[in-house]
Chain A
Amino acid sequence: MDNPHPFAIETRKLNLWYGTFQALYDVDLAVKQGQITALIGPSGCGKSTFLRSVNRITERLGYVRTTGSIEVFGHDIYRPEVELVQVRKKIGMVFQRPNPLPLSVRENILFAYRLHSGGERLTRNKGDEIVEDALSQVLLWDSMKDRLHRKATTLSLEEQQKLCIARLLPVKPSVLLMDEPCSALDPEATEAVEDLIWELRGRYSILIVTHNMAQARRASDECIFMLMGKVIEHTRTEDMFVTPKHKETADYIEGRYG
């Protein structure tokens, strides 16, 4: 957080192809640090693709090709000499469906920490400390502290999704990417997770994809509207919802398509 760079994520002329299908066209974006930025747009507009390319998890599919650059706090993460493992440590990702690993709650939280601690042995005390800190940050410590050895896949979906956020925190990421983190949750759980995301604001720069207009409106500082792989509009959330500059944005927000 001590980085003076004002932007958490800056992209220049980002193009991305799945095989021969182009999913992103010349995306130029600057996402401010310490804020929540929402990505909205109809299905297939490239918002998830953009989000996933910031973690480079897009590269799991062998046929993805990317040009242009993505800078995270001034460091281009697509330079060839960049260590993918470090990129993913700095840039955590939360998925649409909660996907805790089939391990205990405690082991889920220590998973990323162990990956990045370079084989150094983790003492019990240190482990306990990390688990408590991470669970406290996601407001789960009180309800979860007696259930640390439960299998994470048996928790409720809300707890699972919070755990998926918590397990990113021990390696001190600077950016959290969230791909429709509430779409698998019921309304109460959605509210709880939204509250949590708002709680994390300031400590982390958060980029969140959502289908839910109301969620974008109440739980983000800035809003990006994408359509057909292009960025149409990027302004403060209140401005976008009150006085959208583009007709497409206005039409989408008012539910005329999507």
Chain B
Amino acid sequence: MNAPPTHSHDPPEGENLDQLNLAWYVDKVVQWLVFFGGISAIIFIIGIFVFIASQGLGYAVKELDLGEFFFSPLWRPTSEANPTYGALALIAGTASVAGFAMLIAVPFSLGAAIFIAEFATGRTREILKVLVELLAAIPSVVWGFIGLSIMNPLIINTFDVPIGLNILNAGLILGLMAAPIMTTIAEDALKAVPDGYREAAEAMGATRWQVVWRVVLPAGKNGLVAAVLLGVGRAFGETMAVLMATGHSVHIPTSVFDSVRALTATIAAELGETPVGSDHYKVLFTLGIFLFLVTFLINLTADLVVRGKRRNA
């Protein structure tokens, strides 16, 4: 404000001090927008939980036989005479596929993270990081398609089994799907290990591998556990690829060549054909609550583990 004072009686500062200009309004509006953006995640998650709970929680607590739900493998929701809602086989299906997926994903993703963070340099590292991110962006239906049309005949021919849509197939697919996100998070965890540790160990004569094995991995342990847990959460929640590659048959598996059915796939396949408000409909929502709680707990644990790391660092 360099304008020469025109009114000699009025002190010009007095006018300017309580003036609200455009920047002030923009600032206020942006503050509110950012605030709503920030809390929207909380609003959405509460909204989703309230919705799912309103549809299934009352039923799950009062009417549903929880003993049958958790311990019976009989999932016969459409039976006219005697419908049973035993989710044990579905839980076993999800757990077996997710477990097998982790057997594949953990070594691959940790290996990739160690290579990218500790050994690769320059262009190799950049290309690998882009490729890993690209892998994470492949739609799950494409993975399901691969499971259905490539893996299925491959498994049938290789292992001489009657059907190739089974734990092995879905586990492999799911492992490859979960690996990229696990790699990215594990790499971040390794990157967060202070370089002074590496330098100290190298100055004492440690080789690159000794530095990784004896210093970097123990120091980044919490972040690596978090990466694995997030991968497990991903594997639990994945639907489309699992629906297409597991064979979708309700069955407690006894080998990796058994077809199974996952919780998520059950909801996806049946909800559209169920009368709204029926018992079957509400049980599907109960499955949803169960899945929600499991993934929530896994993510919460991962988060706490990472926080634990920060506190000790």
List residues of A whose CB falls within 8 A of some B CB: 55, 57, 60, 62, 84-89, 92-93, 95, 97, 99-103, 111-112, 114-116, 151, 164, 167-168, 171
Contact = CB atoms under 8 A, between A and B. Distances in A.
B196 to A, nearest CB: 4
Contacts of A103: 218
Contacts of B121: 62
A115 B204 contact: yes
Given A102-B218, A103-B218, A95 B199 contact: yes
Contacts of B202: 57, 60, 88
A55 B203 CA distance: 7
A189 to B, nearest CB: 19
Nearest to A164: B200
B128 interface: no
Contacts of B204: 88-89, 92-93, 111-112, 115, 167-168, 171
A167 B215 CA distance: 15
Contacts, number: 60
B203 A86 contact: no
A108 to B, nearest CB: 9
Contacts of B206: 115
B205 A115 contact: yes
Interface residues of B, number: 18
Given A101-B200, A115-B210, A84 B215 contact: no
Interface of B: 121, 196-197, 199-207, 210, 214-215, 218-219, 312
Interface SS of chain B = helix
Given A88-B205, A95-B200, A111-B204, 13 more contacts: A85-B205, A88-B202, A95-B199, A99-B197, A101-B201, A101-B215, A102-B219, A112-B204, A115-B204, A115-B205, A115-B210, A116-B205, A164-B200
Contact of A88 (B196, B197, B203, B312): B203
A185 to B, nearest CB: 16
Contacts of A112: 204-205
Contacts of B203: 55, 57, 88, 92-93, 95
Contacts of B215: 101-102
A57 B312 CA distance: 28
A112 B206 CA distance: 8
Contacts of A55: 203
Contact of B205 (A60, A89, A97, A101): A89
A93 B201 CA distance: 10
A57 B199 CA distance: 8
A167 B201 CA distance: 11
B272 to A, nearest CB: 52
Nearest to B220: A102
A256 B202 CA distance: 38
A55 B205 CA distance: 9
5 contacts: A60-B202, A88-B202, A95-B199, A99-B197, A171-B205
A176 to B, nearest CB: 11
Nearest to A108: B200
A114 B214 CA distance: 10
B126 to A, nearest CB: 15
A213 to B, nearest CB: 27
B210 to A, nearest CB: 6
A112 B201 CA distance: 8
Contact of A99 (B200, B214, B218, B312): B200
Q: Which 4 A-B pairs have the closest CB atoms?
A: A88-B205, A99-B196, A93-B203, A112-B204
Nearest to B201: A101
A171 to B, nearest CB: 8
